[in-house]
Amino acid sequence: MRGGEGWTRPWWRGAVFYEVYVRSFADSNDDGIGDLPGVTSRLDYLKRLGVDAIWVTPFYPSPQKDHGYDVADYYDVNPEYGTLQDFDQLIQSAHERRLQVLVDLVPNHTSDQHPWFRAALSSPDDPHRALYYFADGKPDGSPPNNWESAFGGPAWTKDESSGQWYLHLFAPEQPDLNWWNPDVPKEFEKILRFWLDRGADGYRIDVASALFKRKDLADQPMVKDPMTGQAKPDATFAIIDQPPVHEVYRRWREIVNGYRPDRVLVGEIFEPQRQSRYILPDQLNMAFALIRAKWDASLWKRSIDVDRHALHGPGQMPSWTVSNHDVVRQVTRLGGGFVGRQRARAALLLLLGLPGQVFLYQGGELGLEEVNLPDDARQDPFFFHSGGKQRGRDGCRVPLPWHKGQPNAGFSKAAPWLPMPAGWDDFAVDAQAGMAESMLVFHQRVLALRRPLSGSLPNDFKWCPAPEGVLVYERGPFRVAVNFLARPVELSSRGRLLIATNPMVRRRADRLSLPPNSGAWLDLAGGI
Ligand code: NOJ
Ligand code: CA
């Protein structure tokens, strides 16, 4: 049973996961902020949608400087989001519906309000300093090295009382933990057990490859950017991704297997070249194959191939995804409006026909677009730390519209934490449910069709010859065809149409007609 695989196929192979961004999903007490009882109240919606599992973003006590990815207490629930009993209720209700629940674990950094960091700042001699990276600056008064924060600016902030600097790869309110100190892994084993004991089915691990930084804290060499001609830090110089991180995941695998071998560990690792060192029977089950290519057949084909060839373990297939709470919404990326939505449907057929897991992000099933929020409504630290140059990630985090015609689209009676644009309720769940051509019903139909296929079709696929601008692949008797072009195409194809992105897709005689930006699933054997 090593690595969670027994004689039978574990539930997560080929499963569909749905990311719940708690703050924006559903608000149970009308304070404008989504919460855990809100999630519980909408589990039937998720079940009807057809997902197997949810990944719930961080709900721990937190000053919310990075919306929960700055954890002040790993063993509790933020009062804004509910209580530990609400968490237990969520687990129980999810399990009653045969939905699995992944908790988001944030091991790379704590909040600056975590008791460890507060103690660390209390005195230059405090032993808690060893749990973080504190270092002296350079003789010229600059930070210890030239590392940059992912949110812009130096990755170091000066602790004025001691004159030393501390490291934060993200916001200054998110100091990085020093995993070389054995007390850090020890604490996280406790945290891991805490939520497993409460019934969690696994974890999504935040910034999973970054836990250990290179010990010498050396400057990243500068290289010339071929595009701009300007000097920039050499990204191939490894400051993260240090070998002992694998020991940590081997240990976590053992712990998780000790509960039930089919509990899953999902690493937030996007770079395909890193994944094969982590996605192994004795470490993590999966990472993300995030496809953000622009709408071009050859770019999508290349991205899919890079991701599928990145994994080497037996039977391993990528976990396909197109969006999450950190990236511009897919419909907007693909051109916005009607065209963007048609392309998003076609992309869904393309990816959901592939072997592997799928991660959906809330609101994708409603066809929501990125919202261009006014500056004074923005909350993302990325926006502030870049001096407004980066628009930040609030635009994909606007709360979900549930009811047409209700204030705030039925999300809350109070003003939501991010304002909803006018007309947002046109996308509401109740406006789309039961509407044959809606984005929501399309998602429900695709997921319902996919369910029996994912266990019965071969765990592999092959590309078929197709005209430029069109992708066609087959998995045994199952064929997927997508037209990326702005003009219709006719392909020679047999088979029965299982589903298509729009009603103008036709299968007649030995032809398949694909209108612009459309796609189809076909059954070649008549038995699927
Ligand atoms: C990745 C999370 O998805 C993102 O929202 C967060 O800002 C960073 N990790 C830092 O925790
Ligand atoms: Ca609430």
Model confidence at 387, in pLDDT bands (50, 70, 90)?
A: confident
- Give residue for tokens 């937030």: 268
Q: In what order do the strands lie in the sheet with 100-105?
A: 264-267, 202-205, 100-105, 53-56, 16-20, 357-361, 319-321, 289-290
- pLDDT value of residue 7: 52
Nearest residue CA, atom 2 of ligand 1?
206
Cβ atoms within 10 Å, residue 255: 16
Which pLDDT score, from 0 to 100, does residue 460 have?
94
Q: What is the pLDDT of residues 298-321, one digit of tens each?
A: 999 999 999 999 998 778 999 999
The catalytic residues are 206, 268
326 lines ligand 1 (CB under 6 A): yes
Measured CA to CA, the distance from residue 342 to residue 295 in angstroms comes to 11
The amino acid present at 2, given as its one-letter code, is R
Top-level class of domain 460-523 = mainly beta
Is residue 17 within 8 A of residue 359, CB to CB? The reply is yes
User: Using one digit for the tens of pLDDT, what is the confidence trace for 102-112?
Assistant: 999 999 999 99
Q: In whole angstroms, give the CA distance from residue 355 to residue 365.
A: 20
Q: Is residue 270 in contact with ligand 1, taking CB distance under 6 Å?
A: no
Residue where the block lists tokens 């270092």: 135
Residues with Cβ within 8 Å of 108's Cβ and at least 6 positions away in sequence, in order, are: 169, 176, 177, 206, 207, 210, 211
Helix (H, G, I), strand (E, B) or coil at 60: coil
Query: Nearest ligand, CA of residue 41?
Result: 2
Cα–Cα distance between 513 and 350 in angstroms, integer? 17
Domain boundaries, the chain: 16-107+183-211+249-446, 115-167, 460-523
Q: What is the mean pLDDT of residues 379-393?
A: 87
The protein residue with its alpha carbon nearest to ligand 1, atom 5, reads 326
pLDDT per residue as tens digits for the range 415-450: 999 999 999 999 999 999 989 999 999 999 999 999
Q: How confident is the model over 7-51, as pLDDT tens digits? A: 578 999 999 999 999 999 999 999 999 999 999 999 999 999 999
Give the pLDDT of residue 6: 46
What CATH superfamily is the domain 16-107+183-211+249-446?
Glycosidases (3.20.20.80)
Averaged pLDDT of the chain: 95
Q: Which range has the worst mean pLDDT, 10-24, 227-241, 259-273, 506-520?
A: 227-241
Give the span between the Cα atoms of 34 and 81, in whole angstroms.
7
The Cα 485–Cα 527 span in angstroms is 31
Name the closest-CA residue to atom 3, ligand 1. 326
Distance, CA of 278 to CA of 280 (rounded, Å): 6
Model confidence pLDDT, tens digit, residues 125-138: 999 999 999 999 99
- Whole-model pTM: value is 0.97
CA 493 to ligand 1 center in whole angstroms: 44
Q: Tell me what the mean pLDDT of segment 59-75 comes to.
A: 98
Query: For residues 306 and 285, what is the distance between their CA atoms, to the nearest angstrom?
Result: 18
Q: Which residue has the tokens 């954890």?
A: 71
| Residue range 115-167 in CATH 3.90.400.10 | yes
Q: How many residues does the chain have?
A: 528
Of all residues in the chain, what percent carry a pLDDT higher than 70? 99
The mean per-residue pLDDT over the stretch 165-176 comes to: 98
Among positive and negative, which fits the CA dihedral 337, 342, 346, 349?
Answer: positive
Closest-CA residue to 341 (of 351, 329, 353): 329
